[in-house]
Structure 1
């Protein structure tokens, strides 16, 4: 079994409140995945999965020998054998595992309705079981596939008080739990696109897939460089990243979303230094505040085509005085492109850069 020595994180007793616009059904998945609001609840131990070895872990078979020690979201992890039965707790995590050449090791996929996997990724999943569609799988369902590695976008997926398996419970069952670096609660405000490369490098070492990891990182950096070159010689455009739900506006002032705009060459009109972002990377604003900031471009998260059309109509009807609306520089980005640990973070940078400077 992979040897892991997780240190249990401390459960928060108080949590920052979500902006009302971001607590709706439409954006619920995106915000939970993006915010990582809940730290893992330490639960009681559970019985190891059927077929576990004498130490409580899954038999390694022909697992590659590795010698890996790393820190992930406050837990120290060690591996002496590459995991053989991985679960991707969202499509973004599943895709990353498959892109590393680990499709045969993926035994379960979760939260599948949050986005569709590319066809070439789905084709490599083999016999992976769908464990859940619109929320993390229950503890019992997850343990049924006998995982030895569970890869999640945030710590929320390990909330025992929600009926999910906690990090401690999975460790008792012989499974390591890895959280995307950008989804760590303590990194939520400072998260960057670069966090994705940390995850790729770590996973490459854990699964003895270093060559594939290096190729993914090199390709990602090349794509980011190409996106950055679109703004060469141009005066940076001012940008606001806005979420619209009904008549409520919320804006981004930190985290990977903020860094995506910076990587694309935009100048965000909201700053992490502002008091309204002290406790969370999202803040509600008034229509008057958006008009006062008067961004030259607006990046807005969307769940689907209908949501994009509704949002465009809202801006046209209510904010015709804003430069971004007047110049039709409105840039939609699918919400799942903003999830921590997602290769789509790079897609988001390219999409924003093209919308700002692509002509």
Structure 2
């Protein structure tokens, strides 16, 4: 049974977000380029973002990254070589599939902020940081009732703001890998590093296509995806993924979600009996600041010996690559190798 860790309002918002969205791909209304930038300077750039127009006349140099339960935004900035632009980062995952990324995130400045009750940057502290860009995975990070600076208040002090793809309505149930590419592409435009963003997208698409080709036509094992030692609801298993980007990753890896029909939202809140009654061919355990996700995976396999996953000891532990961000291709490859080792 998952240990009930404290789950703050901010964590619940970000995880039950994981980032009804504004669409399901990179060309939806959630975030799209509105104007064409000058060919020499790359500016101005205007993005339509959750019903707002955000115009950038130069590349931001004082970026604040909100939402500690996500690493999508900070990882995207690091992948694009923009760590020197970050003046305060509130995102952490504790681990990463990318060598050195967790340490790089840990080394980023935090702005010496005393977080509010929602475990994020309160309004006055935010304004005191003098940001010129604030990133939030959902609109939650800009709600005044939660003690945050609103997007309009930020605009008044000269700061742009940005909500990541599928974050407008705090519902990531329609999120796909395409949204990770949308985030990369938008940051490429905002910081005038378009070529680097497109290169990262092309490399990811190429890697995923190669893996998907190897597993094409094979039987799709049923996979359970959940957070390690995390409880977010009233039942024994409340951090089990039902919808969202994990389903797209599983499909590209030649698998399917064993609990896809268990809920209409991103997460299913399941009893032990429901979990026991579902055959699970493989297990993906996501470690969120848990140094021992493999131990949790082994405990689950022991608890449900009737699973095919338990009989064959089929599991893999992952972290940030299963989330919105620049490294989904790593998750696709690792899961595919677990599900279809004969293809590699």
TM-score under structure 1 length normalisation: 0.73
Residue 311 (structure 2) pairs with residue 326 (structure 1): yes
Q: Distance in 2 between matches of 1:169 and 1:298?
A: 45
Q: 5+ residue gaps in structure 2?
A: 21-39
Give the equivalent residue in structure 2 for 1:190.
Answer: 174
- Bigger Cα Rg: 1
> Using a 3 Å threshold, how does the CA distance of structure 1 residues 207 and 121 change in structure 2: closer, same or farther?
farther
- For the residue of structure 1 that corresponds to 2:337, the secondary structure is helix
Structure number with the higher helix fraction is 1
* Matches for 1:99-110 after TM superposition, within 5 Å: 99-110=79-90
- For the residue of structure 1 that corresponds to 2:44, the secondary structure is strand
8 Å contact kept, 1:159–1:166: yes
Q: Distance in 1 between matches of 2:205 and 2:19?
A: 31
Give the equivalent residue in structure 2 for 1:17.
Answer: none
> Using a 3 Å threshold, how does the CA distance of structure 1 residues 232 and 352 change in structure 2: closer, same or farther?
same
How much does 1:297 deviate?
A: 1.2
Residue 299 (structure 2) pairs with residue 313 (structure 1): yes
User: Which deviations, in whole Å up to 9, do the C-alpha atoms of 1:294-316 show, x marking residues without a partner?
Assistant: 02112222232334313421330
Q: Distance in 2 between matches of 1:198 and 1:254?
A: 19
Residue 21 (structure 2) pairs with residue 32 (structure 1): no
Q: Distance in 1 between matches of 2:249 and 2:3?
A: 19
> Using a 3 Å threshold, how does the CA distance of structure 1 residues 133 and 283 change in structure 2: closer, same or farther?
farther
Q: Distance in 1 between matches of 2:52 and 2:4?
A: 29
Q: Distance in 1 between matches of 2:270 and 2:212?
A: 29
Q: Mean Cα displacement is larger for which, 348-357 or 115-124?
A: 115-124
Q: Distance in 1 between matches of 2:102 and 2:295?
A: 29
8 Å contact kept, 1:131–1:137: no
Give the equivalent residue in structure 1 for 2:335.
Answer: 352
- For the residue of structure 2 that corresponds to 1:223, the secondary structure is helix
Q: Distance in 1 between matches of 2:332 and 2:7?
A: 23
> Using a 3 Å threshold, how does the CA distance of structure 1 residues 187 and 28 change in structure 2: closer, same or farther?
closer
CA RMSD, Structure 1 to Structure 2 (Å): 3.6
How much does 1:285 deviate?
A: 2.0
Q: Equivalent of 2:76, from 68, 91, 96?
A: 96
> Using a 3 Å threshold, how does the CA distance of structure 1 residues 38 and 105 change in structure 2: closer, same or farther?
closer
8 Å contact kept, 2:92–2:106: no
* Matches for 1:1-359 after TM superposition, within 5 Å: 24-25=5-6, 31-36=12-17, 64=41, 66-89=43-66, 91-112=71-92, 115=95, 119=100, 128-131=109-112, 135-185=119-169, 187-243=171-227, 245=230, 248-250=236-238, 251-271=240-260, 274=261, 277-278=263-264, 280-303=265-288, 304-316=290-302, 318-334=303-319, 336-340=320-324, 342-358=325-341
Q: Distance in 2 between matches of 1:311 and 1:133?
A: 35
Q: Distance in 2 between matches of 1:233 and 1:110?
A: 42
How much does 1:267 deviate?
A: 1.8
8 Å contact kept, 1:110–1:131: no
